[in-house]
A and B are shown apart, each in its own frame.
Chain A
Amino acid sequence: MSVAVAQPAAGRTSTLSPAPDGAAVTVSGVSRVFASPTGPLVAVDDISLDVDHGEFLVIVGPSGCGKTTLLRMIAGLDQPTSGAIDLSAPNAGSTRNAMVFQGRSVFPWRTVEQNVGYGLKLAGLSRTSRQETTRSLLSLVGMSKFARSYPHQLSEGMRQRVAVARALAVDPQLLLMDEPFGALDEQTRFILQEELLRIWERTRKTVMLVTHSIDEALTLADRVAVMTAHPGSIKAIIPVPFGRPREQATVRSDPQFAALFTLIWDLLRDEVQKARFEAGEEPQ
């Protein structure tokens, strides 16, 4: 069993023959409560969730349902109020995760090349050893021509490609993506989704991606976790049967696509209504 992967990442192997320690990510009974002027606000309520090695998990939910909070806790940028999060490392050494943030996260003061190499620079790699990784990633996301450009010279879609390359550069065990394509126009979003599929085929990273787009979830995911609004918890986990490698067009024309879309939308509709109602009462 061999997969053509540039880096010795957690490959598909672990999904086929699970490691003894099981999942890549284990979220057990995690809650997060924020203090607010109107009293404690439960953002995430008792979520338990396993993500397999090499799995592509997509979390969908209404706006403000705590999706981002959950992802930030997994990234180590926020701490659960209760519960535990375990990230296992099948390859000894690296347990690191890398996050692709929502919106404009690419450093405006660094060139494309410097942005992508940033994590490696922090890790103490020399300029020459950074260059190799940086170049191959820029070509992976189709940005080689813009290595020396500054972000303000790029379109929003190109900046997001840079953000994805920057996260991949540190060869993370786990790739976290927080609505990475949310700010893009639909056509650019389709293109980037296809590219993400292609990149995932090549690297087989464990991915957790947050979105509010059901289309996006079905296009990308192995499983879709549907979240409730206020407080955020997991309502259902839907396996997505489409094969790999996947094409956007094939997925969308599959008869099961419509059925799954309806299923997820039925699950979400009440939550979206609830979120809107509550947002009216306590604007965020």
Chain B
Amino acid sequence: MTVRGQRTMEVALTLAAPVVLLMAWELISRSGRVNQIFWPPPSSLWDTAVSMVRDDDLIGDIQVSLTRIVGGFLLGAIPGILLGLAMGLSWPVRVFMMPIATAIYAIPKIALLPLVIIALGTGETAKWTIVAISIFFLVALNTMSGVLSLDPMYRDVARNLEATRLQVFLGVALPGSLPAIFTGLRLALGFSLIVIVGTEFLSPRQGIGALIWESYQILAIKKMYVGLIVTAILGWLLILALDLIERLVVPWNRPA
């Protein structure tokens, strides 16, 4: 298969899964065996979405959620990367932080929401914070494993060429861990979306999660579906954006 042929095949396969899923959904919905109020055909959702943009504030909800995701993501990921690098490079830091990191890592983060609300209220700060907490240790642990799995030879090369500790940190540990850091960030982005939708369920005022939950409660099922689809597309676009950033920052990490 030519490179071009392979590429076409890739695009076709990528599109095939959602198309097949939507078609199956459409057929089942129209077959009359399910209640269309709860299982509306996807083709009917387009009009709902258009009216939601026009009459409700769908775009506003998306913006609110997106701001919370990106804000909380940066708030958690940047310190997470720094802690991870420190844990990877210094064993006392690693041994000291490991019990906390692994214990908190295992808590479903949404369970911390009451605590965050007690401490910070229900405003935007609290939303950013719950996202940041959710991903902080995830990013830190991935970064740490990136540093630890880096071939010690690279550090020897740098030391042999008389690199200072800072130069080893910036020129070897950081760039060498970038692939692992991005693996962590990709997971963290998914978590951010999960946590923010959950948070908006529990503290519904604005955002995609609030939209889904409120639509469900007033049985505006079509709106609920639009909310779900928007969430899925949002998640996909965010990952796509992160991939693009990775390609720019880590141009060297390609299979040979």
Contacts of A166 in B (CB 8 A): 157
- Check B160–A76 contact: CB distance below 8 A: yes
Q: Please tell me which stretch of B19-27, B90-98, B170-178, B186-194 contacts chain A, meaning at least 4 of its Cβ atoms lie within 8 angstroms of it.
A: B170-178
Known contacts A103-B153, A109-B176; A77 and B162 CB within 8 A of each other: no
- Check B160–A75 contact: CB distance below 8 A: yes
CA distance A109 to B162 in the complex (A): 19
Contact of B153 among A101, A150, A151 (CB under 8 A): A101
CA distance A151 to B256 in the complex (A): 9
Residue A122, interface by CB 8 Å:
yes
Contacts of B154 in A (CB 8 A): 105, 107
Which residues between 143 and 193 of chain B lie within 8 Å of chain A, taking CB atoms?
A: 151, 153-154, 156-163, 167, 171-172, 175-176, 178
Give the B interface residue count (CB, 8 A): 24
- Check B161–A118 contact: CB distance below 8 A: yes
Known contacts A103-B153, A104-B153, A122-B161; A152 and B175 CB within 8 A of each other: no
CA distance A96 to B162 in the complex (A): 9
- Check B156–A98 contact: CB distance below 8 A: no
Contacts of A123 in B (CB 8 A): 162
Residue A108, interface by CB 8 Å:
yes
B249–chain A nearest beta-carbon distance, Å: 10
> Chain B residue with minimal CB distance to A96?
B162
Residue B50, interface by CB 8 Å:
no
Total cross-chain contacts (CB, 8 A): 64
A153–chain B nearest beta-carbon distance, Å: 7
CA distance A107 to B171 in the complex (A): 10
Give the A interface residue count (CB, 8 A): 26
Residue A226, interface by CB 8 Å:
no
Residue B202, interface by CB 8 Å:
no
Contact of A107 among B157, B167, B251, B254 (CB under 8 A): B157
CA distance A122 to B160 in the complex (A): 11
- Check A109–B250 contact: CB distance below 8 A: yes
CA distance A104 to B158 in the complex (A): 14
CA distance A75 to B153 in the complex (A): 13
Contacts of A109 in B (CB 8 A): 175-176, 178, 250, 252-253
CA distance A104 to B256 in the complex (A): 14
| Chain B 114-155 per-residue mask, 1 if CB under 8 angstroms from chain A, else 0 | 000000000000000000000000000000000000010110
CA distance A258 to B112 in the complex (A): 76
Contacts of B156 in A (CB 8 A): 72, 77, 99, 101, 105
The interface of chain B, by Cβ under 8 A from chain A, is 151, 153-154, 156-163, 167, 171-172, 175-176, 178, 250-256
11 pairs from A and B in contact (CB 8 Å cutoff)? A77-B156, A99-B156, A99-B160, A107-B154, A107-B175, A109-B175, A109-B250, A110-B252, A119-B161, A150-B251, A152-B254
The interface of chain A, by Cβ under 8 A from chain B, is 72, 75-77, 96-99, 101, 103-105, 107-110, 118-119, 122-123, 150-153, 166, 170
